[in-house]
Structure 1
Amino acid sequence: MQHHPHTSAASGESHRPSGAPRRGRPRRFAGVAAAIAAVVGLSTLTSPGAHAADNPYERGPAPTTASIEALRGPYAVSQTTVSSLAVTGFGGGTIYYPTSTSDGTFGAVAISPGFTALQSSIAWLGPRLASQGFVVFTIDTNTTLDQPDSRGEQLLAALDYLTQRSSVRNRIDSSRLGVMGHSMGGGGSLEAAKSRPSLQAAIPLTPWNLDKTWPEVRTPTLIFGADGDTIAPVSSHAEPFYSSLPSSLDRAYLELNNATHFAPNTSDTTIAKYSISWLKRFIDNDTRYEQFLCPLPRPSLTIEEYRGNCPHNS
């Protein structure tokens, strides 16, 4: 993919060495430019988010392939445990969040495990996503046998707890929320998006649901399937789910190559890099991550197939 020089939103200039004159321009202009740059720099220090004047939700440095594939992003992460006894509507869980408050609030994501599983099965996503600049809530369900519709309701209950009652509620922008889930939890993330169109992103991971059509969904949705899934085969789950989403919606389908239904239960770079890109692109409106989603990724050792719409709408 051709790399385009990053343009600073604050200055409108491509990055050059500080104070470097343009070729052929008299040096006295370089001094004037440096003085202006200094004033602009001072103004950005006094106005939060001014480093991304056109997008106040942008968080973290400009991304690279290495940064989205890394086990940890630029933010140090703290975590807190939420007892099932302290909440209603779901089974408690663990909140992972950027330790620093200097960048303001963050978007948030709730993640549900699958049938018979505990939050430990999707725990790796907590610090991996939070370190990129999100508050992440990996939840336990009321019972491990809860069906997708119940898991969808529980994801929404978890988001409500996160934004209204949790100890980190002041770190969260409650208008920028998303859901993820594995297996029946992935089916639940579709249920949650259907019920709450204000959600900014949904990422079902090898999802399972008896409902095969989702024309009501208005939330940008990235569905992961696995070519070797025998529990929720892509032909009867992930693929029809994707195909039934409105064609006008920002949507994508990534089929993992040489993978099983349980691929989301262990640290997976392909799941992480495209989940991070999708959450950044649609929860944070951060177009710096568009490069990883459009043009559509090609088949590779880890990607069997990728479908989606490009460029994205919003």
Structure 2
Amino acid sequence: MDRRFTPPRSTEGVAVRAFRRRPLQIFLATLFAAAVLTPATGQAAPTAVNPYERGPAPTNASIEAPQGAFATATVTVPASAARGFGGGTIYYPTSTSEGTFGAVAISPGFTATQSSVAWLGPRLASQGFVIITIDTLSRYDSPASRGDQLLAALDYLTTTSSVRSRIDASRLGAMGHSMGGGGSLEAAKDRPALQAIVPLAGYNTTKNWSQVSVPTLVVGAESDTVAPVSSHSEPFYTSLPATLDKAYLELNNASHSAPTSPNTTVAKYSISWLKRFVDDDTRYEQFICPGPGASTTVEEYRSTCPF
């Protein structure tokens, strides 16, 4: 397929984006560290690192590995305890030595249960996130309903769950497969405070998402006949604002179900996107900007890089 990369935006647009994500906290932390003098030497203290960084510096090997740097545990959320969604499973890092973590809710697609996205739970959590994979109230729920349920699951995580003290409620994201992916777009539309979304082979009858202001990684599958990229993932991506931090990753020769089982490409770029925008961790920008070229696993990549 003959496609072109989206050209970078102007330096003015880059500057606007650079200060849009939690500017005050990071700016003040950096300013303070740069201004304070050490008593022993009278030299300026080193500039503070991003306070949201979690885990060691990433490598290709580390983000492609099935297990990240953090040991994880799980908590079952029975449907009877859930409000506004159908229950689920929480995956979380067992260590709290590095502080709180960002959190991400993940929805399955039409007729599916959380088992279809369960592989993402431990994989993402072991990289330094609290993850909840959800069951929906009905297997036939629309993308709009799934978006509401993703937000309800995030609210449960941050206010009610047994791991709420491990979560930074200002650093939240959403993902989903198929109608769950369409649901993540709905969630971003309804809650602009989200830090990142990743629709996987997303399905939604709405094609225009120009109102979304949340950094978005759209993942499509070249051979998807359920949600063909030409009528779903590609229109989703192109309708997002040109000023938005966004990327489009198309899996080479992949079907609609590709994201429902362990997939190194899906994991690698989902981790990188979430780290970059939920954790403001620029160490991961190297993997998504300029991003991958065409390969045996990637058909196409476009983005509004530089972020």
After TM superposition, is the score higher than 0.5? yes
- Looking at structure 2, the residues matched to 63 and 87 of structure 1 have their Cα atoms a distance apart, in angstroms, of 35
Q: In the alignment, what sits opposite 1:185?
A: 180
List structure 1 segments (4+ residues) > 3 angstroms apart after TM superposition: none
Q: Distance in 1 between matches of 2:305 and 2:240?
A: 15
Structure 1 position 85 matched with structure 2 position 80:
yes
Equivalent pairs, count = 271
Query: 1:54 deviation in Å?
Result: 3.1
Instruction: Show the 5 A alignment for 1:52-91.
Output: 53-91=48-86
Aligned to 2:271: 276
Picking from 113, 117, 124, the partner of 2:119 is 124
What is residue 5 of structure 2 aligned with on the other side?
none
Q: How does 1:149-228 map to 2 (within 5 A)?
A: 149-228=144-223
Q: Does 1:113 align with 2:108?
A: yes
Provide the residue aligned with 2:258 in structure 1: 263
1:299 aligns with 2:282: no
Amino acid in the other structure paired with 2:145: S
Identity %: 70
RCO higher in 1 or 2 (8 Å CA, sep ≥ 6)? Answer: 2
Q: Which amino acid aligns with 1:232?
A: A
The whole-number CA distance in structure 2 between the counterparts of 1:253 and 1:163 is: 30
**Structure 1 residue 98 displacement after superposition:** 0.2
Letter in 1 for 2:88: G
The secondary structure found in structure 1 opposite 2:291 is: coil
Q: How well do the aligned residues superpose, as a CA RMSD in angstroms?
A: 2.0
Deviations 1:162-201 (A, max 9, x none): 0000000000000000000000000000000000000000
Mapped to 2, the partners of 1:54 and 1:124 lie a distance apart of 31
Q: Alpha-carbon deviations, 1:134-163, whole Å to 9, x = none?
A: 000000000100010000000000000000
Q: How many angstroms apart in 2 are the aligned matches of 1:168 and 1:63?
A: 26
Which segments of 5 or more consecutive residues in structure 1 lack a partner in the other structure?
1-8, 13-34, 44-49
| Structure 2 counterpart of 1:243 | 238
Corresponding residue number in structure 2 for 1:103: 98
Report the AA paired with residue 206 of structure 1: A
What is the CA-CA distance between 1:87 and the residue it aligns to? 1.4
How far apart in 2 are the matches of 1:239 and 1:204? Answer: 12
Q: Equivalent residue of 2:305, what SS?
A: coil
Using the TM superposition, give the Cα deviation of residue 310 of structure 1 relative to its aligned residue in structure 2, in angstroms: 1.0
Q: How many angstroms apart in 1 are the aligned matches of 2:205 and 2:284?
A: 33
Task: Give the TM-score of the pair, scaled to structure 1.
Answer: 0.83
Q: Which amino acid aligns with 1:77?
A: T
Counterpart CA distance in 1 for 2:100 and 2:87 is 23
The Cα of 1:58 is off from its aligned counterpart by 0.4
Query: Could you tell me which amino acid in structure 1 is paired with residue 147 of structure 2?
Result: G
Cα separation, 2, equivalents of 1:91 and 1:146:
11
SS at match of 1:94: strand
Partner of 1:25 in structure 2? none
Shift of 1:93: 0.2
Q: Tell me if 1:310 matches 2:305.
A: yes
Structure having the higher Rg? 1
The alpha-carbon deviation at position 203 of structure 1 amounts to 0.1
Cα distance in 2 for partners of 1:229, 1:300 equals 18
Distance 1:170 1:227 in 2: 41
**Counterpart residue type for residue 54 of structure 1:** V
Where does structure 2 lack aligned partners over 5 or more consecutive residues?
Answer: 1-29, 35-39
Partners of 1:61 and 1:53 in 2: CA distance: 16
